[in-house]
């Protein structure tokens, strides 16, 4: 896939040790391609908080995120509480961001749009 392919249409690529994290300008460029409220938090991870009407809806969405993560073999941290599901993504192996983190975020955002 090339850079013209939307993030949500790309596949996550397993990271090999020694791969450098994305430079800040590359991460900012990819962040601008995401819809929704995604941000890079104080730890340098991609993060978003989705609001829901109740706990059951938040858990249903968290389960959808889990399905996406399993299919991509790229696993975010997910926090569920009454009325909210928070997702935090980074590549653990390099303790930084890779393009695959943004691909996963785009797939999650697409699922949220379809879920809403």
Q: Structure pTM?
A: 0.93
Helix H segments across the chain?
A: 24-31, 55-72, 99-115
Residues of the chain below pLDDT 70: 1-3
Chain-centroid distance, C-alpha 8: 10
Structural class in CATH, domain 45-116: alpha beta
Determine the pLDDT at residue 17: 73
What residues contact residue 94 under an 8 Å CB cut-off, 6+ apart? 15, 17, 19, 20, 21
Determine the pLDDT at residue 2: 57
Cβ neighbourhood burial of 26 (10 Å; 0-12, 13-18, 19+): middle
Q: H/E element holding 36?
A: none
Determine the pLDDT at residue 100: 96
Determine the pLDDT at residue 16: 76
């Amino acid at each position: 896939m090339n850079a013209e392919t939307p993030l949500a249409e790309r596949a996550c690529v397993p990271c090999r040790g020694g791969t450098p994290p994305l430079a800040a300008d590359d991460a900012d460029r990819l962040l601008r391609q995401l819809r929704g409220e995604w941000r890079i938090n104080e730890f340098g991870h991609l993060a978003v908080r989705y609001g829901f009407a109740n706990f059951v809806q938040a858990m249903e969405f968290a389960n959808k995120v889990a399905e996406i993560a399993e299919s991509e073999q790229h696993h975010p941290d997910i926090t569920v509480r009454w009325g909210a599901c928070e997702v935090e993504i980074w590549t653990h192996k390099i303790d930084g961001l890779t393009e695959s983190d943004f691909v996963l975020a785009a797939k999650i955002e697409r699922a949220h749009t379809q879920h809403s």
